[in-house]
Structures are given as structure tokens and as C-alpha cells.
Structure 1
């Protein structure tokens, strides 16, 4: 079964997201933990959570992917911003336990002229400070396009972070197809080689989710601009190959394309028709 969904608005709560997922034939979805450009989170609504857990089971919605706000920068040169990232993520992980057993994704951050080694050290330090052996949520480092001083533009950088995590069984990777393409990994013409490289450097057992996006930019542009499936430089046939790759096809896929619900429904329908299950 193809496990596919998209990014949904969490403004109206979990039950509303479940209803939206049903209207577009999604069996999973992604949502922001809080305002993506700020730090505010809605109070937990126990009744909404209780009803949602029933809906999720009925609709077979799993696993859900919570996305951290863009404002988190775990390797900022400003210690106050690093504190904000640590405190926000720690709070998010507590909140995630209301819907146990799901995924939490974040952008590793930008080292801002401190150097990659310093940035990697700060990211690992934050994760070691907040991860708990009893948590049920798996935290995912996202592959990045490499804008400016972004950490995570290469599989090697992500592996260096993973190697420093004490509770490493609670951490994995989310591969973004637009980001890896923009970072220079040619998933359109050399998908097998890219997957083999990922396996050799990080290990496929660490790969827990895929952000399925086309890219408005040519290979290796380091710009990060998502496009609708088939409307970018990666191309529809290459993205269909991604969902059908033997090493990837049983992972959950999350669309982050520039769409409304109708657009997401169309893309989900196309991918379901092309999935070779």
C-alpha cells in the first residue's frame, strides 16, 4: 500500500486535518508543530486529541510527520537562538507524546560563518540534551539544498551528526527530493547510485520518510524552491521512479508542493495510479 499524504494546516486541530486527509484520499499527513515563522503553539485540546486518535485508527492515518518551525536554528551563532531552538523542540517532543509513535522533522540549521564542524557539534549537543529514552517519537534530520551555510547539504554531514547522538535509535533522516536534487544528487538519471550512496554513508535503516517534491531549479542550484510534481526539473517520471524504488516504496511520502487541497488530491491520485504495489 502506498503511504502518501501532504502538508495540512493544523490551525483547526487534529480532527480537522484528519477530515482534510479523507477528502484527498491521503493515508498520512504532515503538519507544523506551531507557527512556522514564529514560536507560538496552540494549547493542547484533549477532546480534539481523543477524537483524533479514533479517527486516525479508523482512517489508517500513519505515521504522521510533525514539522518544526522554520525559525529553529540549532547551530546559530547566537546562543539565545540556540536556546530558543532547544526549548521549542523540547516542548514539541512533549506535545508529540499526545499522539505517540509518530515522526518529528526539522531543518538542521545554518552555521552562519562558524564552520560546518561547529554547526554539527551544536546540533548534536541540542539533540543529546532533549532526547529521552522513553519518548515514542522519532526525530528526523532533513536533507537540505545547501543554501548559504546550511548544514545537511550532503549525506556525510548528516552522518556526522548521527554519529554524535547518544540515543541514536530515536533519530533518523527525512529525504526531500527537491533538496537533494538542488544539493547536487541526480535522482532523475542516477537514482540507484544516489540510494546506494545514501546506504553506504548513512544506512537505509535510518531513512524514515520522503518529502516528495519537484524542483523549480536545475540540478545542484542550492536554491530550494519546490515545484508541483512534473512541473520542475526533476520530472514526473523520475518522481514515479522514487515511489517505486525497492528501497523506498514502503516509506511514507509527504507532498510539500505549492498546492491547495484539490491540487494535492490530483497529485496523490497520480502517484497511487503509478505505484507498483
Structure 2
């Protein structure tokens, strides 16, 4: 069974997100832990969590993929921004334990002219601070397109971060198809080669989730502009190969395409029809 879903608004709580996922015929989903452009988080309502956990078990949801706010930058040159990132991620991981054994995805950050090595050092410091042995949540580093001073454009940069983490069993990677394409990895003509390289550098066991997005840009553009499935430079045939690849087919696939609910429902149905 294809594990597929989209980003869903968390404004009305967990139970509402679960019900919305079912309307889309999804069996997983992603959501922002708080305002994606700000810092506020809705209070946890235990009755809402209880209803969601019951719904999740009844519906057979697979692992869901929470997303940190875009404002979280653990390697900023501004100390107050780094402190916000540390505090926000620590709070989010505590909140994630209300829905245990899921994923928490974040953009590694932008080093803002400090250099990649400095960025990697700051990010690893943050992760070593927030990761706890008792947590059930796996924190995912997202592959990035490489625009500006983003850290995480290459598998080697992600590996540098992972190598500095004390609790490596609490860390993983979310591969974004638009981002890796825009960063220069040819997942259209050489998916096997890209995944073999990932395995060599990081190790496929660290790959936990996929953001499934087409791209408006040519390979290597380093711009990060998502397109609807089959309507970009990656194309539908490549998407079909991705969801059916033996190294990927059992992972959760999350759509971040420029769509509304009706569009995501169509994409979910299309991808399910292509899953072999």
C-alpha cells in the first residue's frame, strides 16, 4: 500500500487533521507544529489528542511527518535567532510525544555568510541539545535546494551533521524530490545512481520520508520552486519510478505541491493508481 498524504492545516487540531486526511483518501499527512512564518503554537488539548489517536489507530494511519516552522534557523548569524530555534525545537519535540513514534522534519538552516562549516557546527550543537534518549520522535534533516546560504544541499553536508550527533538513532533524513533535483541530483535519468550515492555517503537506513514534489526548474537551478505532480521538469514517469523504487516504496510520501484539497486528492488518487 502506498503511504501517501499532503500537508494539512493544523489550525483546528489533530482530530480535524485526521478527518481531513481521510477525506483526501490519504493514509499519512504532514502539518506545521506552529505558525510556519511565526513562533506561536496552539495549546495541546488532551481530549483532541485522544480522539485523534483513536482515529489514527482505527484508520490505520502510517507515520505522520510534522514540520518545524520556516523561521527556525539553528545556524543563523544572529544569536537570538539561534536561541529561538533551540527553544522552539525543544518545545516541539515535547509536544510530539503526545502522538509518539512519528517524524519531525526541519530545514537545517542558512549560515548567512558564516560558511557551511560554521553552519554545520551550530546545527549539530542544537540537535545534541534537543535530542533525548527517552523521546520516540525521529528528527529528520531535509535535503535542500541550495538557494542562498542553505545548509544541506549535498548529502555530504547532511552526513557532516549526522556524524556529530550523539543520538544517531533519533535522527534521519527527509528527501525532497524538488530540492534534490534543483540542487543537481539527477533523479530523472539516474535515480539508482542518486540513491546509491546517498547510501554510500549517509546510508539508506537514515532515509525515513519523502517530500514528493515536481519542480518548475531545470536540474541544478538551486531555486526551490515546487510544481504539481507531472507538470514540472521532473515529470510523471520519474515520479512513478520514485514511488515504486525498492529503496523508497515503503516510506511515507508527502505532497507539498502548489494545490488545494481537491488537487491533492487528485494527485493522491493518481499516485495510488501508479503504485505497483
TM-score of Structure 1 vs Structure 2, range by shorter chain: over 0.9
TM-score by length of 2: 0.99
Q: Residue in 2 aligned with 1:267?
A: 267
Distance 1:10 1:167 in 2: 29
Distance 1:182 1:60 in 2: 34
SS in 2 for 1:172: strand
Distance 1:247 1:50 in 2: 34
Equivalences for residues 38-49 of structure 1 within 5 A = 38-49=38-49
Shift of 1:229: 0.2
Distance 1:238 1:52 in 2: 35
Q: Residue in 1 aligned with 2:57?
A: 57
Shift of 1:61: 1.1
- 1:168 matched to 2:168? The reply is yes
Equivalences for residues 108-147 of structure 1 within 5 A = 108-147=108-147
Distance 1:152 1:239 in 2: 22
Distance 1:134 1:245 in 2: 33
What are structure 1's unaligned runs of at least 5 residues?
none
Q: How much is the aligned-residue C-alpha RMSD, in angstroms?
A: 0.5
Distance 2:12 2:32 in 1: 12
| 1:9-31 deviation line (CA, Å, top 9, x unaligned) | 00011111111111111000000
Distance 1:8 1:248 in 2: 23
Q: Residue in 1 aligned with 2:86?
A: 86
What are structure 2's unaligned runs of at least 5 residues?
none
Distance 1:16 1:259 in 2: 19
Q: Residue in 2 aligned with 1:212?
A: 212
Distance 2:18 2:107 in 1: 25
Shift of 1:88: 0.2
SS in 2 for 1:139: strand
Q: Residue in 1 aligned with 2:5?
A: 5
SS in 2 for 1:72: coil
TM-score by length of 1: 0.99
Shift of 1:85: 0.2
- 1:101 matched to 2:101? The reply is yes
Aligned residues between the structures: 276
Distance 1:221 1:59 in 2: 40
